[in-house]
DNA sequence: AAGCCGGGGGT
DNA sequence: ACCCCAGGCTT
């Protein structure tokens, strides 16, 4: 039986979480984690909640100043609930995602009206409040009361994708569901120290993701001892830190089209130097012609090509010789090539044009698709 | 499941 | 210029 080739990396269905995963993160946090952020070293649910909302999709460095200003102006949930909306929005201005501020205000009022002014510590209750989702609810519960409930934010997704070798965009439902399962299995054990462990663990996952298991250059590459999980990390073992986590799939990119001319005389082809800026800036490429006709009309293109090559020589014929699509970061380019064979070539060319022998293709900088086009022409014996 | 919200930092 | 960030809500 022929075996199926495994071309694409496949993540095993069942991923084992090392039994001491949680406590390794706890110990690392206590010795190497962050301990002096303005919302740490407190069990005040108000400050913890406020910081978690501010930190949604917003980096720590940007939040600190806003947090200080906010708690100075509105030090309690009661003060926030009683404040005018204008003041709340003014304190938030510049942080972005302003629905967070509106929900914050609504949430403060709900805590006052529906919970006697006391913040809930049960994640299942917290998650019913405006602006508090599953992960934020767990973070508030863990920091304010040591509740054993997992978070799953951007940091955790990155750490998990790498440690467990999970391929696939973490925003995708199936991937996220598996990560929630892992998050529940990775918690430090329940027991007498659970509350303090959960504070360190929850903070530790965030600290790991922010300071060690960063997106660009994870610190484990410099020294594996920097990360308490490096011994079990699939991405580090398989050199996949640059690939995991799988990035968000790009939005559909637009397609453009162009018509290039393969103007041949003997073994020479006409090439033109592109402007220094823009696509293929400074490379020698094939001359292009602009066509108004949509959809593409081969005969019109051939006629336009015959007209366009007049300064360069005497054309014998012109015909559509090939098509290919080239993908850029931000668009796809459909290239149609019109071939024009010359019976005689002009003696002089301007500075931006020259004849290039196919034998000298390596000597000039040529866009990859142009090179492919010319090599294809040569391969089928047309040069 | 996909779109929306947003200013700011890192590369 | 692009990606991502201690996500959640709406359609």
CA dist A264 and A317 (Å) reads: 11
Identify whether A323 is a catalytic site residue: no
pLDDT computed for residue A180 by the predictor: 96
Question: Quick one: A213 and A356 in the same domain?
Answer: no
Q: Is the pLDDT confidence value at A331 over 70?
A: no
Question: Quick one: A214 and A298 in the same domain?
Answer: no
pLDDT computed for residue A76 by the predictor: 97
Question: Quick one: A85 and A165 in the same domain?
Answer: yes
Range of the domain at A94: 20-238
Average pLDDT over residues A72-99: 91
Per-residue pLDDT band for A6 (boundaries 50, 70, 90) equals very low
Question: Quick one: A164 and A214 in the same domain?
Answer: yes
pLDDT computed for residue A252 by the predictor: 62
Question: Quick one: A260 and A322 in the same domain?
Answer: yes
Residue-wise pLDDT for A220-253, tens only, equals 999 999 999 999 999 999 999 999 999 988 766 6
Q: How many domains does chain A have?
A: 2
pLDDT computed for residue A295 by the predictor: 78
Out of A210, A238, A266, a domain closes at A238
Cβ within 7 Å of nucleic strand C, residues: A 34, 37, 39-40, 51-52, 55-60, 97, 99, 103, 130-137, 139, 153-155, 157-158, 203, 206-207, 209-210, 215, 247-248, 250, 329-330
What is residue A378's three-state secondary structure?
A: helix
Residue with minimal CA–C1' distance to C7 is: A56
Q: Residue A317: which CATH number?
A: 3.90.79.10
Answer whether A56's CB lies under 8 Å from A100's CB: yes
Which nucleotide does the CA of A59 lie closest to, via C1'?
A: C5
Vertex A128, ends A210 and A100: CA angle to 5°? 50
Question: Quick one: A176 and A140 in the same domain?
Answer: yes
pLDDT computed for residue A253 by the predictor: 60
Of A235, A237, A236, the residue nearest A245 (C-alpha) = A235
Residue-wise pLDDT for A249-265, tens only, equals 876 666 778 899 999 99
* Entry pTM: 0.70
The reply to whether A279 falls in a domain is yes
The reply to whether A227 falls in a domain is yes
Q: Which residues pair with A258 in a beta bridge?
A: A335
CA dist A262 and A323 (Å) reads: 12
pLDDT computed for residue A321 by the predictor: 87
CA dist A104 and A55 (Å) reads: 13
Residue A187's CB: how many other CB atoms inside 10 A?
21
pLDDT computed for residue A329 by the predictor: 56
Residue-wise pLDDT for A16-52, tens only, equals 899 999 999 999 999 999 999 999 999 999 999 999 9
Question: Quick one: A215 and A360 in the same domain?
Answer: no
Out of A182, A209, A238, a domain closes at A238
CA dist A235 and A314 (Å) reads: 60
Residue A98 approaches strand B within 7 Å at CB: yes
Which nucleotide does the CA of A98 lie closest to, via C1'?
A: B5
Nucleotides in chain C near protein beta carbons (<7 Å) = 1-9
The reply to whether A234 falls in a domain is yes
CA A105 to each of CA A85, A100, A110, A129, A229: distance values in angstroms, whole numbers, following the listed order: 7, 9, 9, 11, 39
pLDDT computed for residue A5 by the predictor: 28
* Dihedral of the alpha carbons of A215, A220, A222, A226, in degrees to the nearest 10: 120
CA A123 to each of CA A118, A190, A217, A357: distance values in angstroms, whole numbers, following the listed order: 14, 17, 34, 72
Q: Is the pLDDT confidence value at A315 over 70?
A: yes
The reply to whether A206 falls in a domain is yes
Provide the H-helix boundaries in chain A. 21-32, 45-54, 60-73, 77-82, 85-92, 99-114, 123-126, 134-145, 154-163, 173-185, 194-207, 234-237, 298-308, 368-379
The reply to whether A2 falls in a domain is no
Residue-wise pLDDT for A139-180, tens only, equals 999 999 999 999 999 999 999 999 999 999 999 999 999 999
Question: Quick one: A346 and A229 in the same domain?
Answer: no
Per-residue pLDDT band for A9 (boundaries 50, 70, 90) equals very low
Q: Is the pLDDT confidence value at A373 over 50?
A: yes
The reply to whether A247 falls in a domain is no
State in Å, rounded, how far the first CA of chain A is from the last one.
Answer: 45
Question: Quick one: A362 and A295 in the same domain?
Answer: yes
Mean pLDDT of chain A: 89
pLDDT computed for residue A4 by the predictor: 26
pLDDT computed for residue A179 by the predictor: 96
Question: Quick one: A85 and A198 in the same domain?
Answer: yes
The reply to whether A267 falls in a domain is yes
The reply to whether A7 falls in a domain is no
Residue-wise pLDDT for A175-215, tens only, equals 999 999 999 999 999 999 999 999 999 999 999 999 999 99
Question: Quick one: A152 and A295 in the same domain?
Answer: no
Question: Quick one: A217 and A303 in the same domain?
Answer: no
CA of A110 to C1' of C1 (A): 43
Out of A187, A210, A238, a domain closes at A238
Q: Residue A67: which CATH number?
A: 1.10.340.30
């Amino acid at each position: 039986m022929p075996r199926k080739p495994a071309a694409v990396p496949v993540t095993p269905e069942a991923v084992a979480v090392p039994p001491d995963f949680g406590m390794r993160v706890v110990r690392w946090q206590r010795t190497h984690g962050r301990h002096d952020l303005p919302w740490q070293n407190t069990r005040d649910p108000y400050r913890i909640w406020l910081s978690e909302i501010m930190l949604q999709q917003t980096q720590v460095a940007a939040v600190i100043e806003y947090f200080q200003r906010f708690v100075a102006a509105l030090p309690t949930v009661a003060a926030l609930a009683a404040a005018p909306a204008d003041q709340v929005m003014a304190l938030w201005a510049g942080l972005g995602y302003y629905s967070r501020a509106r929900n914050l205000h609504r949430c403060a009022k709900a805590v006052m009206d529906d919970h006697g002014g006391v913040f809930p510590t049960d994640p299942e209750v917290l998650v019913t409040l405006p602006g508090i989702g599953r992960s934020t609810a767990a973070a508030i519960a863990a920091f304010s009361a040591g509740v054993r409930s997992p978070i799953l934010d951007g940091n955790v997704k990155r750490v998990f994708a790498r440690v467990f070798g999970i391929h696939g965009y973490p925003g995708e439902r199936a991937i996220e569901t598996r990560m929630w399962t892992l998050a529940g299995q990775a918690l430090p054990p329940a027991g007498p120290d659970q509350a303090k462990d959960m504070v360190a663990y929850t903070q530790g996952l965030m600290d790991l993701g922010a300071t060690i298991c960063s997106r660009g250059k994870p610190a484990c590459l410099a020294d594996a001892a920097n990360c308490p999980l490096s011994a079990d990390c699939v991405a580090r073992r398989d050199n996949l830190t640059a690939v995991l986590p799988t990035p968000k799939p790009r939005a559909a990119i637009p397609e453009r089209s162009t018509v290039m001319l393969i103007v041949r005389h003997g073994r020479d082809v006409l090439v033109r130097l592109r402007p220094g800026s823009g696509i293929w800036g400074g490379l020698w490429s094939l001359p292009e012609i602009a066509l108004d006709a949509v959809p593409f009309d081969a005969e019109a293109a051939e006629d336009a090509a015959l007209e366009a090559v007049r300064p360069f020589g005497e054309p014998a014929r012109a015909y559509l010789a090939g098509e290919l699509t080239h993908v850029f970061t931000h668009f796809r380019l459909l290239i149609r090539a019109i071939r024009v064979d010359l019976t005689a070539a002009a003696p002089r060319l301007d500075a931006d044009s020259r004849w290039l022998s196919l034998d000298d293709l390596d000597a000039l900088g040529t866009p990859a698709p142009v090179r492919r086009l010319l090599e294809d022409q040569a391969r089928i014996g047309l040069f």
